[in-house]
Amino acid sequence: MGRFDILFGELGLVRSAGEICERYEEYLGEGHWFIPGAEALLETGLRRVFISMGGDGVLAADHSGKLHVPCIPGEMVNTTGCGDAFMAAIAWAYLRGTDLADTARAGLAASSIAMESRETINPAMSVEGIRSRI
């Protein structure tokens, strides 16, 4: 499991979420920490949590539930910028008031667009492109 950081909402405090998830992985085994890890992160006061499951998609969770959203197909050319595209799209979707599932789909759509170009930023990246893949 890789290390990742989380911004704790209005507190403005950045800390490693890896410690929380590693605690569960130790007891449950690799890959089985997703749901309890998401629950632990929600207990900190976060409103939404998105955990990458690699090629299996993303686990999206909020205080009303959890769901698995599979990857959106695309032609892999270069994965540089996929994570950044995902984060930007979930921020954009959240600020537009999008529900949990469509917010996760927006992130995955942006990631699939990002990986289809040799460029660091795919010239095809656009709101229309993201919406067409959701």
CA dihedral 108, 113, 115, 121 (to 10 degrees): -120
Helix axes 82-95, 100-114, angle to 10 degrees: 150
Amino acid letter, 4? F
Question: Is 90 exceeded by the pLDDT of residue 34?
Answer: no
In a domain, 114, yes or no: yes
Q: Which of 34-48, 77-91, 101-115 has the lowest mean pLDDT?
A: 34-48
Question: Is 80 exceeded by the pLDDT of residue 109?
Answer: yes
56 versus 8: the higher-pLDDT residue is 56
Tell me, rounded to whole angstroms, the distance of Cα 124 from its chain centroid.
21
- Based on the structure, what is the number of domains in the chain? 1
In a domain, 58, yes or no: no
Instruction: Give the range of the structural domain holding residue 124, as residue numbers without chain letter.
Output: 72-134
The model carries a pTM of 0.76
Which residues share a beta bridge with 13? 8
What is the mean pLDDT of the segment spanning 41-67?
87
In a domain, 42, yes or no: no
Residue 46's pLDDT band, with cuts at 50, 70 and 90, is: confident
